């Protein structure tokens, strides 16, 4: 990583458990967050949404079909938005069996019947145990949840999490010195420029990161090109979409103008088991010049979503400041954590 973490109150080489330890356990569920916490990650990552009756919950997709049995329990509402369900209804869903069916090699009987979690429940997990990770919270589809930033602020305040210092791994493990007792136990992230503005107004003291992506609504991309017969899928994805320096510059400027401490670009993934491990894996938004441009502006670079040691190595060489990862165990091992 860069030396920016000595100036910005965020752990160096941040280990951010994407939806928990979501390679080993169903994403955003209790075992996924417990595993990540007990591994010693810096942050538990979660995507924030709000139920019909106003409860903050940790769910990634805007619908429930991919990773719950909503089609069995509420057959007419399989494609309905999360916001149309009450907490009581969400709690009736099984958010773990899909994982056992999709990943038989990682399946466990205890995963079937897992519940969707509220933000309160994720905070409970972070507060228990010995490691006390922070929370790295994304406002998801914020345009569907007006006022969610204020709701979050109220909740964090009620739970005593505003202004709480980040726990950091010992400096020796991070390869750099940390600034210590400063705010940063909660970091906010969003793809939405509007939500970044609202977060700046609503919780100015909480560090914010603007997530970067290519395509409609994100950074302007050059048109896709056809795959050549002689190139791998990885090479094809790597060259098919390119951000212009001007477009990248304008997103960095927006982030900086709204007090963000950094950006969260997408990474190119090495193929794993014949498949890319993220739907965003074809977006390279951390080329060396991009990381350099962010660092020259004093902005941290936290990269999503990176799971493979070859990718940790490549991006570490470029000086990125942390990774969102589904495979927290592998990343901690990469950083020399026992
Ligand atoms: O929050 C970083 C990364 O999680 C963004 O992508 O779709 O997994 O929320 P997504
Ligand atoms: Ca996210």
What is the number of structural domains in the chain? Answer: 1
Q: Measuring from atom 1 of ligand 1, which residue has the nearest CA?
A: 138
- Residue 57 scores a pLDDT above 90: yes
Q: Within 10 Å of residue 172's Cβ, how many Cβ atoms?
A: 8
> Of 291, 95, 279, 263, which is closest to residue 190 (Cα–Cα)?
263
Distance (angstroms) between ligand 2 centre and the Cα of 30 equals 17
Q: Measuring from atom 3 of ligand 1, which residue has the nearest CA?
A: 304
Distance (Å, rounded) from C-alpha 183 to C-alpha 248?
A: 28
Ligand 1 contact, 303 CB (< 6 A)? no
Distance (angstroms) between ligand 1 centre and the Cα of 26 equals 15
Alpha carbon separation from 321 to 3, 117, 279, 302, 305 (Å, rounded): 9, 29, 22, 6, 13
Ligand 1 contact, 43 CB (< 6 A)? no
Ligand 1 contact, 263 CB (< 6 A)? no
Confidence grade of residue 322 (pLDDT, cut at 50, 70, 90): very high
Ligand 1 contact, 27 CB (< 6 A)? no
CATH number of the domain that residue 312 is part of? 3.20.20.190
> Of 132, 120, 251, which is closest to residue 184 (Cα–Cα)?
132
Q: Within 10 Å of residue 201's Cβ, how many Cβ atoms?
A: 10
CB 328 within 8 A of CB 281: no
- Residue 241 scores a pLDDT above 90: no
Which of 19, 46, 60 for mutating ligand 1's site (highest number of atoms within 8 Å of CB)? 60
* Domain hosting residue 16, numbered range: 4-334
What is the ipTM score, two decimals?
0.98
> Of 295, 281, 288, 296, which is closest to residue 318 (Cα–Cα)?
288
State residue 244's pLDDT score.
81
SS3 at position 62? coil
Given the CA of residue 138, which atom of ligand 1 is nearest to it? 1
> Of 144, 159, 121, 189, which is closest to residue 52 (Cα–Cα)?
144
Spell out where the chain has E strands.
Answer: 14-17, 43-50, 56-58, 117-118, 134-139, 186-190, 208-211, 262-264, 300-303, 322-325
Q: How far is CA 158 from the centre of its chain?
A: 24
State residue 222's pLDDT score.
61
Confidence grade of residue 179 (pLDDT, cut at 50, 70, 90): very low
Distance (angstroms) between ligand 2 centre and the Cα of 48 equals 9
Distance (Å, rounded) from C-alpha 123 to C-alpha 47?
A: 13
Mean pLDDT of the chain: 88
Per-residue pLDDT tens digits for 248-262:
999 999 999 999 999
Distance (Å, rounded) from C-alpha 29 to C-alpha 38?
A: 14
Ligand 1 contact, 190 CB (< 6 A)? no
Distance (Å, rounded) from C-alpha 248 to C-alpha 228?
A: 27
DSSP 8-state secondary structure symbol assigned to residue 3:
S
Ligand 1 contact, 168 CB (< 6 A)? no
Per-residue pLDDT tens digits for 73-115:
999 999 999 999 999 999 999 999 999 999 999 999 999 999 9
């Amino acid at each position: 990583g860069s030396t920016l973490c000595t100036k910005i109150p965020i752990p160096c080489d941040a280990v951010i458990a994407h939806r928990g330890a979501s390679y080993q356990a169903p994403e955003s569920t209790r075992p996924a967050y417990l595993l990540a916490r007990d591994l010693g990650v810096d942050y538990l990552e979660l995507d924030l949404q709000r139920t019909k009756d106003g409860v903050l919950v940790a769910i990634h997709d805007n619908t429930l079909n991919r990773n719950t049995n909503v089609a069995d329990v509420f057959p007419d509402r399989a494609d309905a938005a999360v916001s149309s369900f009450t907490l009581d209804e969400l709690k009736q869903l099984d958010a773990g069996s899909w994982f056992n069916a999709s990943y038989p090699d990682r399946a466990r009987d205890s995963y079937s019947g897992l519940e969707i979690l509220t933000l309160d429940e994720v905070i409970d997990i972070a507060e228990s145990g010995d490691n006390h990770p922070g929370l790295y919270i994304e406002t998801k589809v914020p345009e569907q949840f007006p006022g969610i930033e204020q709701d979050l602020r109220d909740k964090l305040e009620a739970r005593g999490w505003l202004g709480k210092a980040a726990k950091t791994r010992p400096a020796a493990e991070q390869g750099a010195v940390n600034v210590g007792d400063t705010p940063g136990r909660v970091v906010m992230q969003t793809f939405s420029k509007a939500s970044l503005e609202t977060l700046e107004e609503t919780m100015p003291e909480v560090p914010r990161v603007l997530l970067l992506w290519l395509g409609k609504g994100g950074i302007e991309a050059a048109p896709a090109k056809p795959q050549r017969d002689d190139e791998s899928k990885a090479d094809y994805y790597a060259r098919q979409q390119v951000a212009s320096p001007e477009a990248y510059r304008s997103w960095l400027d927006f982030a900086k103008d709204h007090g963000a401490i950094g950006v969260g670009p997408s990474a190119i993934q090495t193929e794993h088991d014949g498949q890319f491990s993220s739907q965003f894996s074809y977006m390279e938004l951390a080329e060396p010049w991009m990381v350099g441009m962010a660092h020259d502006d004093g902005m941290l670079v936290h990269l999503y979503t990176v799971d493979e040691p070859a990718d940790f190595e490549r991006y570490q060489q470029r000086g990125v400041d942390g990774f969102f990862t589904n495979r927290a165990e592998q990343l901690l091992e990469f950083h020399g954590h026992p």
